[in-house]
Amino acid sequence: MILTQEQIGEIAFQTGPIRDRDMCEKLAMEHGGKKKLLWARSPDEMFKIHKAHYGKPNIFFGTHHALCLNASDINPDLPLLKLMRLCGWSIFDEKVIVLSELPTKIHHRNGSFHSTNGPALTYSDGFLVYSVNNRPVPSNQRWIIDKTNISFKEAMSVTNVDLRRIALEKIPHERLMEESNAKLIDQWKDKKTPWKWYELYMLNIGNIQMVMLKMKHPRETGFYLERVPLACTSVKQALAFQMGDPKFIEPTDWA
């Protein structure tokens, strides 16, 4: 059978405490054989325990793997799948099985681990996982998620597009335009299609100039900005660059 999105979500987005430890251990033994079994409070502690005593694990599974389970036919009676419904991450190797507790708190959106205002997953030992649209946030860029008062200069220093958009969204529109000395170059609005709303700005940061396309998101509230080449002097040129097309093609929808 192929799991439904609801079934996958039941596995991937569950939180603790674990309801049946005895069943978890029984299923783990059925899958990995009878051997020493240890518990950890988080995936971080799980890997540390295993590394301290047994080295790098050969095989490990996490509840996040459930997000990929609909790619193929799955037997719902497999011990491993049943185990993933009950506990968090797990390590199986020749000498030991290590199971981790479930997170105490999870934030998710549209089937992905996602949070723009703090960690996406929190564990009882204090271990935190930051994630945006199912993509881990590097530790040196977690300030983007945690910080509320971000300057335009800080936001534009972020190289990852998703994280930069989050940083820019945290800056009030009026302050964003003021800090960057923004000048409107061009605009295009389609009254028949509300989400076709674009403005092109020239921004100045010290002696650095850049052109930004301001767009209304087709499926979410609010606006977001994307940098385009300085050569773009119209909205249509910016959209053509955005689509990788030398000629402007009016967009009908976003995938």
- Final residue in a domain of this structure, among 66, 90, 105: 105
Say if 39 falls within a structural domain.
yes
Mean pLDDT on 77-82 = 77
Do residue 94 and residue 185 come from a single domain?
Answer: no
- Final residue in a domain of this structure, among 74, 105, 136: 105
Do residue 185 and residue 101 come from a single domain?
Answer: no
Say if 207 falls within a structural domain.
yes
- Band of pLDDT at residue 143, cut at 50, 70 and 90: confident
Does the pLDDT value for residue 57 go beyond 70? no
- Band of pLDDT at residue 70, cut at 50, 70 and 90: very low
Does the pLDDT value for residue 45 go beyond 70? yes
pLDDT score for 73: 52
Across the chain, mean pLDDT equals 79
Say if 98 falls within a structural domain.
yes
Do residue 11 and residue 99 come from a single domain?
Answer: yes
pLDDT score for 253: 40
Say if 148 falls within a structural domain.
no
pLDDT score for 205: 66
Highest-confidence range of 21-25, 137-141, 189-193, by mean pLDDT? 21-25
pLDDT score for 60: 60
- Final residue in a domain of this structure, among 47, 78, 105: 105
Say if 112 falls within a structural domain.
no
Do residue 101 and residue 188 come from a single domain?
Answer: no
- Band of pLDDT at residue 194, cut at 50, 70 and 90: low
Say if 15 falls within a structural domain.
yes
CA nearest to 202, candidates 223, 169, 230, 237: 230
Greater confidence, 248 or 131?
Answer: 131
pLDDT score for 37: 92
Say if 175 falls within a structural domain.
no
Q: Number of structural domains, the chain?
A: 2
pLDDT score for 226: 83
Structural domain span for residue 213: 180-255
Does the pLDDT value for residue 19 go beyond 80? yes
Say if 206 falls within a structural domain.
yes
pLDDT score for 181: 81
Greater confidence, 8 or 19?
Answer: 19
Greater confidence, 23 or 16?
Answer: 23
pLDDT score for 122: 93
Mean pLDDT on 49-71 = 61
